[in-house]
């Protein structure tokens, strides 16, 4: 019998808190049961083992990230949109390092729900970049580019890869601005090709 007041969202929220505090690998059914003050078998009333728990965490993280992006870029265009998107990405990764780690794992090929949730994040990236008028492969390259820039920065920061005493927020701003210059160069090249 499930404990009164314990449901899937509560279980996933507790797992995310544990992951954010101690890292994704610290999330086991035993550690989560201890946090929730229940016996491990009770978790099977809500999740089908550790892989399903991590999948639920990824779904939750992707949903939260999408909502954060929507709020950040609402009413923004051009550079302001990309900057708002980028700072929201960084804020999410800093606030939820374990949950951020959970969303980096590729979904199983038949997991349509997780692929759809990931697709919404990609769509928000496309929306942030749409003012530049990039189409087709160029748009996809820009999406891959901003994801690589942001994930690279977040990963290095989380792993303590920035050892110099320089303001990381300044570095981040310069990185985003440099990416924007590259996107504008892509835009100019595309416009030039259209006029030929």
- Tell me the pLDDT tens digit for each residue of 88-134: 999 999 999 999 999 998 788 899 999 999 999 999 999 999 999 88
How many Cα atoms occupy the beta-carbon half-sphere of 153 within 13 Å? 22
Structure tokens at 119: 């697709």
pLDDT of amino acid 1 = 45
pLDDT of amino acid 10: 95
Residue 192 confidence (pLDDT): 82
pLDDT at 196: 74
| Statement: residue 2 has pLDDT above 60 | no
Return the CATH architecture of domain 61-195.
Answer: Orthogonal Bundle (1.10)
**Lowest mean per-residue pLDDT among 49-53, 118-122, 159-163, 192-196:** 192-196
Quote the pLDDT of residue 3. 55
Express as a percent the part of the chain with pLDDT over 90: 80
Q: How far apart are CA 95 and CA 68, in angstroms?
A: 12
The residue assigned the tokens 């990230």 is: 65
Average pLDDT over residues 60-74: 96
State residue 32's pLDDT score.
97
What is the reported pLDDT for 59? 96
Residue/partner pairs of 19-24 with CB below 8 Å, 24 or more apart = 19/57, 19/97, 19/98, 19/99, 19/101, 19/102, 20/95, 20/96, 20/97, 20/98, 20/99, 21/98, 22/98, 23/97, 23/98, 23/101, 24/54, 24/98, 24/101, 24/102
* pLDDT on residue 189: 86
104: its two tokens: 């980096």
Give residue 179's pLDDT.
96
Amino acid 4: pLDDT = 56
> Is the predicted pLDDT of residue 34 greater than 50, yes or no?
yes
Where do the structural domains in the chain lie, given as residue ranges? 61-195
């Amino acid at each position: 019998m499930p404990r009164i007041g314990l449901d899937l969202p509560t279980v996933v929220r507790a797992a995310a808190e544990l992951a954010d505090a101690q890292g994704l690998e610290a999330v086991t059914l035993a550690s989560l049961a201890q946090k929730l003050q229940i016996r491990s078998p009770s978790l099977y009333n809500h999740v089908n083992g550790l892989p399903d728990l991590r999948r639920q965490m990824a779904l939750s993280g992707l949903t939260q990230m999408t909502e954060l992006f929507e709020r950040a870029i609402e009413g923004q265009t051009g550079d302001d949109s990309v900057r708002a998107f980028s700072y929201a990405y960084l804020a999410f990764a800093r606030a939820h390092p374990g949950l951020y780690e959970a969303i980096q794992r590729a979904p199983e090929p038949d997991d349509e729900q997780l692929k759809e949730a990931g697709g919404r994040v990609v769509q928000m990236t496309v929306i942030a970049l749409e003012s530049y008028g990039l189409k087709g492969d160029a748009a996809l390259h820009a999406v891959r580019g901003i994801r690589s820039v942001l994930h690279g920065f977040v990963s290095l920061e989380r792993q303590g890869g920035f050892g110099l005493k320089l303001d990381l927020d300044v570095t981040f701003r310069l990185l985003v601005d440099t990416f924007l210059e590259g996107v504008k160069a892509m835009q100019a090249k595309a416009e030039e090709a259209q006029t030929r």
